[in-house]
Amino acid sequence: DAGVIQSPRHEVTEMGQEVTLRCKPISGHNSLFWYRQTMMRGLELLIYFNNNVPIDDSGMPEDRFSAKMPNASFSTLKIQPSEPRDSAVYFCASSLISNQPQHFGDGTRLSIL
Amino acid sequence: QKEVEQNSGPLSVPEGAIASLNCTYSDRGSQSFFWYRQYSGKSPELIMFIYSNGDKEDGRFTAQLNKASQYVSLLIRDSQPSDSATYLCAVNRHNFNKFYFGSGTKLNVKP
């Protein structure tokens, strides 16, 4: 079975540009999570969807960050405008239901110059 | 106080030894507990999960949970150099939809 698929794998862009990260969860999974990982702060939960509905976005750092899940097989995380401090690895994960183990995608390594 | 605390390590053990990784959590209402392994430059990979007090064994791995002490551990028997990675502890409180990861313990298994 295909795992969680994220794109792009790497993104390098200049400060001020819009960045869109994409995620396809495992088919049949009802919960989707976006994380950010840095050396300083470790793995941080940004937002969590259940049945395509955002449940908790308290981890979203600023209004520059937004996430959508228009259907069960696709989600986006958008940063506009991007800043150098947004540079990190962004992971998407999905689980069957919210309290079950999460399965992670390969991540997007984002560099904002 | 962090929700999930782990010793950052590195924890060094010789090949064939038992590696013991520990994690404490602050939310007494936490209900699900997970261990992930993360190799450098890779994504976290699920190793074990445990929901009830006691031990749960899967191959060379044993997860131990003590809710009274708010403590969860991972034992790796017959450690191999391929086990060298960072191990992340995660906890979940279902009714509040809260998920927390520890900062991870780096394990080095020396041949």
Instruction: Give yes or no for residue A25 having a pLDDT over 70.
Output: yes
Whether residues A102 and B34 touch (CB distance < 8 A) is answered with yes
Query: Tell me, what DSSP letter sits at residue A26?
Result: P
Most confident of the following: A38-47, A87-96, A97-106:
A87-96
- Of the pLDDT bands very low, low, confident and very high (cuts 50, 70, 90), residue A1 is low
- Position B93 scores a pLDDT of 83
Is residue B88 within 8 Å of B102, Cβ to Cβ?
yes
Q: How much of chain A exceeds pLDDT 70, in percent?
A: 99
In terms of C-beta density within 10 A (0-12 exposed, 13-18 middle, 19 or more buried), how is residue B69 classed? exposed
Q: Does residue A52 have a pLDDT over 70?
A: yes
Asked if residues B4 and B89 have their Cβ atoms less than 8 Å apart, the reply is yes
Give the pLDDT confidence score for residue A98 in this predicted structure. Answer: 80
CB contact under 8 A, B103 and A56: no
The answer to whether A42 contacts B101, with C-beta atoms less than 8 Å apart, is yes
Phi-psi region of A48 (alpha: psi -120 to 50; beta: other; left: phi over 0): beta
Contact A105 B44 (CB under 8 A): no
Mean pLDDT of chain A: 94
**Residues in chain A closer than 8 A to B34 (CB atoms):** 101-102
Interface of A with B in 65-94 (CB under 8 A): 91
What average pLDDT does this structure show over A11-37?
96
A69: closest CA of chain B, how far (Å): 18
* Chunked mean pLDDT (size 10), chain B, 111 residues: 88 97 93 95 95 96 96 97 97 80 95 94
Residue A16 pLDDT level (bands cut at 50, 70, 90) = very high
Residue A2: what pLDDT? 83
pLDDT for B2: 82
Tokens 């590696």 belong to B19
Best mutation target, A5, A10, A43, to test chain B (most B CBs within 10 A): A43
Per DSSP, the three-state class of A86 is: helix
**CB–CB contacts below 8 A, A to B:** 44
* Partner B contacted by A42 (CB < 8 A): yes
Mutate which of A35, A37, A45, A102 to test chain B, going by most B C-beta atoms within 10 A?
A102
